[in-house]
Structure 1
Amino acid sequence: MTIFVLLLSGVAIRAYRELSEPGAWDFWRESYVAATMTSSVIPGVVIDGSKRRALAISGRIGSASATWFRDRLDEARLSPDDVVLLSSPGGAMDQAAIMGEVIRARRLVTAVATSDASGKLRAAGCASACVLVYAGGETRYGIAGSRLGVHRFTMSKPGDDPVAEAQRSQGIVLSYMRKMGISSRIVEAMSQTSDIRWLGTKEALAMNLITTPVDQP
């Protein structure tokens, strides 16, 4: 009994220490209680003249969204060239970059839109960290009426040098965007403001952020 109590105490102390780490409680809550994002599988959406299976995700990108997203993709059973539809105000930059890497590894395409059960697309917004997820698509559709918003990223914590952290964040985003085939001009656009700056379609095309504009919906 004494050994059991000691073991239980050790587990409880370790769990307390882990949850005391910055962001640990958010990660635990999102993983086991309530995810910050929602998803739905659409059997067929028509984009650029072809019908494809799609996973639509929306909501804030949280501390555990990358794992949540991978699980939703596994359940959706998307094939290469199937679609990830995005509608999000942004959130955790590191999680968004991982989500984008997963999309690229699975050779999926991305579009900023929502969809009803019949597959009809509606314009939506994708801002801040959501743009990193969108960047993961091998093809990145620009749906008419949908918006892509960028701003300056920061990952500073209390005690950090804000200038150094801003430079580090910019370097991480620049490396990621280049890997995804997107012009470094997007990082210049991000660095100009801490508020959301909505990119015009021509501007996003010039950066190669949008690769294929689509007139619908």
Structure 2
Amino acid sequence: MLLLSSVAIQAYRDLLTPGAWDFWRETYIAASKTLAVIPEVDIDGMGRGRRALAINGKIGSASASWFRDRLSEARLAPGDVVLLSSPGGALNQAAIMGEVIRTRGLVTAVATADASGKLRPASCASACVLVYAGGQTRYGIAGSRLGVHRFTTSTPVSDPLAEAQRIQGMVLGYMTKMGVSSGIVEAMSQTSDIRWLNPKEALALNLITRPADRP
């Protein structure tokens, strides 16, 4: 009884730490995303079917570990596709997801797909753009949208300016590593609201590496 009580007390204290409840809910109760494994999608219009994992929803506090588990279950191989449709969410989790995508040699696109593999346009905004940037090749889908904005923290900090600079530096380092132009950070810094990049802007920033009209 004493052992069980001590465990319960520790678990309660853990849940009182900032963000802990969000993590537990995301991990054990209800993930903030849905997914589907699509046996074949023709991502480049060349008739080559590739296996795809379609993810839809907010990036939560435990999304990176959730994503790794789902990738393992889906058995995607290098060159297979991660389809994204998300309003964004946790910045650090998105960066880890992007790193996992790059490590596994997967490609990305902003789209949803039906069971037959037919692609439909979707939106990817805020932190989702970091996940998209992880693609070895980043496909543009006609009608899909990529949205950026200035990142901030919701956690109280003693020096908001220093924290903003730290976040900006992290995003710059990550995007540069993924082969995206440093100009993406300038585009993000211009507004706290979502700014939707037109396809030419996204291509010029090397965010999209394979436009919709190029096989």
Q: TM-score, normalised by structure 2?
A: 0.96
Which residue of 2 is the match for residue 184 of structure 1?
A: 182
**In structure 2, C-alpha distance between the alignment counterparts of 1:211 and 1:145, rounded to whole Å:** 16
Equivalent residues of 1:156, 1:165 under 8 A apart: no
**In structure 1, C-alpha distance between the alignment counterparts of 2:107 and 2:131, rounded to whole Å:** 11
**In structure 1, C-alpha distance between the alignment counterparts of 2:58 and 2:157, rounded to whole Å:** 26
Equivalent residues of 1:44, 1:119 under 8 A apart: yes
Out of 40, 62, 71, which is 2:36 matched to? 40
1:160: Cα distance to partner? 3.2
Equivalent residues of 2:86, 2:123 under 8 A apart: yes
* Secondary structure, aligned partner of 1:144: coil
Q: What one-letter code is carried by the residue in structure 1 that aligns with 2:148?
A: V
**In structure 2, C-alpha distance between the alignment counterparts of 1:67 and 1:186, rounded to whole Å:** 27
What is the percent sequence identity of the aligned residues? 77
1:156: Cα distance to partner? 4.5
* Secondary structure, aligned partner of 2:211: strand
**In structure 1, C-alpha distance between the alignment counterparts of 2:92 and 2:31, rounded to whole Å:** 16
Q: What one-letter code is carried by the residue in structure 2 that aligns with 1:18?
A: D
Which stretch of structure 1 is more off in the superposition, 185-194 or 161-170?
161-170
Q: What one-letter code is carried by the residue in structure 2 that aligns with 1:47?
A: I
1:214: Cα distance to partner? 1.7
**In structure 2, C-alpha distance between the alignment counterparts of 1:38 and 1:140, rounded to whole Å:** 21
Equivalent residues of 1:156, 1:162 under 8 A apart: no
Out of 98, 104, 107, which is 1:106 matched to? 104
Q: What one-letter code is carried by the residue in structure 1 that aligns with 2:4?
A: L
**In structure 1, C-alpha distance between the alignment counterparts of 2:136 and 2:74, rounded to whole Å:** 18
Out of 52, 58, 61, which is 2:59 matched to? 61
- Please tell me whether residue 8 in structure 1 is matched to residue 4 in structure 2: yes
- Please tell me whether residue 131 in structure 1 is matched to residue 125 in structure 2: no
Q: What one-letter code is carried by the residue in structure 2 that aligns with 1:147?
A: R
How many residues matched?
A: 212
Q: Which runs of 5+ in 1 are unaligned?
A: none
Which residue of 2 is the match for residue 120 of structure 1?
A: 118
Q: What one-letter code is carried by the residue in structure 1 that aligns with 2:129?
A: V
**1:110-153 per-position Cα deviation (integer Å, ceiling 9, x unaligned):** 00000000000000000000000000000000111100000001
**Which structure has the bigger radius of gyration?**
1
- Please tell me whether residue 71 in structure 1 is matched to residue 69 in structure 2: yes
Out of 60, 84, 87, which is 2:85 matched to? 87
**In structure 1, C-alpha distance between the alignment counterparts of 2:2 and 2:162, rounded to whole Å:** 44
**In structure 2, C-alpha distance between the alignment counterparts of 1:87 and 1:105, rounded to whole Å:** 21
Which residue of 2 is the match for residue 167 of structure 1?
A: 165
Equivalent residues of 2:95, 2:131 under 8 A apart: yes
Which residue of 2 is the match for residue 30 of structure 1?
A: 26
1:101: Cα distance to partner? 0.4
Equivalent residues of 2:157, 2:163 under 8 A apart: no
The CA RMSD measured in Å over matched residues stands at: 1.1
**1:58-116 per-position Cα deviation (integer Å, ceiling 9, x unaligned):** 10000011111111101110000000000000000000000000000100000000000
Q: Which runs of 5+ in 2 are unaligned?
A: none
Q: TM-score, normalised by structure 1?
A: 0.95
**In structure 1, C-alpha distance between the alignment counterparts of 2:155 and 2:64, rounded to whole Å:** 21
* Secondary structure, aligned partner of 2:82: strand
* Secondary structure, aligned partner of 1:190: helix
